[in-house]
């Protein structure tokens, strides 16, 4: 299940979890970077935008929920929450905040890799937005030429 040319930022305050995920994702062909807290995650995203972020919720300095809010304020970067919070309300809140998926600790590294691959496939299949001055319905697209009415 190799996924080439994609990068994942693994954000968790536990270095063992970061190492485990980095190893599993690397075996799947993904480039990885790591951050130990929310502030470092935002800096890493700004420095070199990853294709997806795996984000722990409970972290020092800035929790994963605030990091997700800030990510969503600037775009649609895919986020997979990784958390020890396993109540239904926590999973629902994570998805409602904008996470693309939610995995509860303890977790299977193979399952996380499979979920990452599924999210990246969905992102890759999303059609690009129509250019300015264009309209689209399904697969039908109109592009307005200079001065021409749309229709």
85-101 per-position pLDDT tens digit: 888 888 898 899 889 99
77, two tokens? 């970067």
- Is 9 strand, coil or helix? strand
Q: If 0-12 CB within 10 Å is exposed, 13-18 middle and 19+ buried, where does residue 125 land? A: exposed
Return d(Cα 67, Cα 84) in angstroms, integer. 17
Return d(Cα 10, Cα 76) in angstroms, integer. 17
With cut-offs at 50, 70 and 90, classify the pLDDT of residue 146. Answer: low
Taking only the tens place, the pLDDT of each residue in 2-52 is 444 799 999 999 999 999 999 999 999 999 999 999 999 999 999 999 999
* Terminal-to-terminal C-alpha distance of the chain: 44
pLDDT for the residue numbered 130: 58
With cut-offs at 50, 70 and 90, classify the pLDDT of residue 75. Answer: confident
pLDDT for the residue numbered 3: 44
The pTM assigned to this predicted structure is: 0.79
pLDDT for the residue numbered 43: 96
- Is 109 strand, coil or helix? helix
Return d(Cα 27, Cα 117) in angstroms, integer. 13
């Amino acid at each position: 299940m190799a996924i080439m040319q994609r990068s994942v930022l693994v954000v968790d305050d536990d270095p063992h979890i970061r190492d485990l995920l980095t190893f599993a994702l690397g075996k799947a062909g993904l480039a990885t970077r790591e951050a130990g807290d929310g502030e470092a995650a935002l800096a890493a995203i700004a420095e070199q935008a990853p294709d997806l972020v795996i984000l722990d919720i409970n972290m020092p300095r800035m929790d994963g929920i605030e990091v997700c809010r800030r990510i969503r304020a600037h775009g649609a970067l895919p986020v997979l929450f990784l958390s020890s919070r396993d109540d239904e309300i926590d999973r629902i809140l994570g998805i409602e905040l904008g996470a693309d998926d939610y995995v509860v600790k303890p977790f299977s590294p193979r399952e996380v890799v499979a979920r990452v691959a599924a999210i990246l496939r969905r992102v890759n299949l999303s059609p690009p937005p129509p250019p300015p001055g264009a309209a689209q319905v399904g697969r039908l697209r109109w592009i307005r030429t200079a001065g021409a009415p749309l229709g």
